[in-house]
Amino acid sequence: MLALRPAPRVAGHLRSQVPAFRRFASTQAPSSPLRRGLYATAFVLSTGLFAAYYFDARSALHRYILTPVLRHALDAETGHKLAVKVLKSGLAPRDRGHDDERLKSQVWDQELSNPVGLAAGFDKDGEAIDGLFNLGFSWVEIGSVTPKPQPGNPRPRVFHLVEDSGLINRYGFPSQGHAAVLSRLRARIPPFQPEHDTAALRPGSVLAVNLGKNKESPADSIDDFVTGVCTFGPYSDVLVVNVSSPNTPGLRGLQNRDLLEKLLNGVTKARDQLPVSPVTSRRPKLVLKLSPDLDEAQIKDIAEVLSKSSIDGVIVSNTTIQRPKHLKAPHRNEVGGLSGAPVKEYSLKALRALRSHLPASIPLIGCGGIFTGADALEYGKAGASLVQVYTGFGYDGVGACRRIKDELAQELEKEGTTWSQVVKNAVDELSLKEHRQSAPIPQSAPIPQSDAGGAGTISQLICDAQELQGLLEKLEEKIESAHS
């Protein structure tokens, strides 16, 4: 067999490259035990950092290094989008802890492992649902979702108020629309598994969809919300009717009494006509999300409308258009909704007022300025059955939920109580009493002139009878709904 030899020119070229190759190889190989030790140390450190990143969501690495670096390196909206993509990828950290028994929460007929949820606005298009549940939230609320895709307001539209632990946004409901989000919700459902107790597809948790309204829709129209109920009802545990964002023109007008009555009648009728969910074998709960900027008279009017409706709960509150005088950050006067620590006083005030005007049968969810377990407990003592975080999550990073839960468990242990007991005591004490009785008139007391002939007493009896009739009608509706 003939031996193949390289051509003289090629062979000479190869020989000329041999010394260079040897020099290159000699520079790449570790030349000493010191260098090998440095490589080994670097490997161990990088492995340790990755373990701290991935397996310990509460580690200081997230709170004091990664999150601040991203906040300073990227503008607020780009950092937000990057966080969503990481959580979507499956490479995000996970909460490996177990929720303390003291944190168990009850809302409607659902027991949750803890009361801490994530508010709408973070995962607007339902891209990172499971990544967020993996961080330990019991309630993940996606959206707001509008029927048609829309870009929202022009950038820049999000501003950090670092000095005030706050955030101002004027996103204006940027949304990929119903079709895109619905496809993601359907894709999450395993095809060959038995039915689940919740649309979250995991025990002790619920999935909520926040329903928004397209900017070009008529201000007084309820059609976008009714469409949202019909679209997402079969794939969610809770539907949130958002009439409180300050960034969509005319939206807050739906909080006015007459329009609110029309809206609630429309969405509850649409919900009650839905077939039971193929995921949970139930219909979703309906929750209204309100603004913290309502005055006492408006809150009272809203409470009266809610009491006569079939609404299942209320979130208090959304962002505020108010600007406290103590704000220090350069962007404090930007147009938009303010969230974070500065909104806490307004949200708590609105929640306490609404709790006093609503019966205990309508639960409230507190939202606004929750950064610590003590903040969460303050909402519980004001009558909130659950709490939601948003800005605190953005500032403290992926460990925020675990940190708040651990701090809350410690606070409850100090007081020798549980979250459920705190909420029950507050709701019983602060809520409007559904059965009010007139104080008995002593026999010796003269009958007031205005009550001559028993007219005042009869009027009171009629009022009581009408109130009782309304309660019975609501009960019958719920029984019929449960059997249908």
pLDDT digits (tens, 9 = 90+) for 18-73: 454 444 444 444 557 777 666 666 555 555 445 455 556 666 777 888 888 888 89
Q: Which two structure tokens, joined as six digits, stand for 229?
A: 């109920």
Residue spans of the domains in the chain: they are 100-430
Q: How confident is the model at residue 479 (pLDDT cuts 50, 70, 90)?
A: low
Q: Is the pLDDT of residue 150 over 80?
A: yes
Tens of pLDDT, residues 359-378? 999 999 999 999 999 999 99
Rounded CA-CA distance 132/416 in Å is 31
Q: What per-residue confidence (pLDDT) applies to 443? A: 43
121-152 b/e (C-beta count within 10 Å ≥ 16 → b)? bbbbbbbbbebbbbbbbbbbbbbbbbbeebeb
CATH superfamily of 100-430: Aldolase class I (3.20.20.70)
- Predicted pLDDT of residue 476: 59
* Per-position b or e across 364-381, b if 16+ CB within 10 A of its CB: bbbbbbbbbbebbbbbbb
- Going by pLDDT thresholds of 50, 70 and 90, the confidence category of residue 113 is very high
Look at the block and give the residue holding tokens 């309100």. Answer: 290
Return the pLDDT at 50: 52
Mean pLDDT of 304-313: 97
User: So which residues are the catalytic ones?
Assistant: 245
Residue with the two structure tokens 């895709």:
149
**What confidence tens digit (pLDDT) does each residue in 406-442 have?**
999 999 999 999 999 999 999 999 999 865 444 443 4
**Strand (E) or helix (H) holding 168:** strand 166-169
Question: Rounded mean pLDDT of 74-90?
Answer: 95
Looking at residues 84-111, what average pLDDT do you find?
Answer: 94
CA 62/CA 85 separation, integer angstroms: 16
Q: According to the model, what pLDDT value does residue 54 have?
A: 54
* pLDDT higher than 90, residue 297: yes
Mean pLDDT of 83-92: 93
Helices 400-415 and 419-430: angle between axes, nearest 10 degrees: 70
| Residue with the two structure tokens 């070229």 | 13
* Average of per-residue pLDDT values in the chain: 86
Closest CA to 347 of 363, 375, 368: 368
74: burial class by Cβ within 10 Å (0-12, 13-18, 19+)? middle
Looking at residue 472, its pLDDT comes to 53
Instruction: Name the percent of the chain lying above pLDDT 90.
Output: 71
Task: Check residue 108 and give left, alpha or beta (phi > 0: left; psi -120 to 50: alpha).
Answer: left
Task: List 139's β-bridge partners, or say none.
Answer: 117, 206
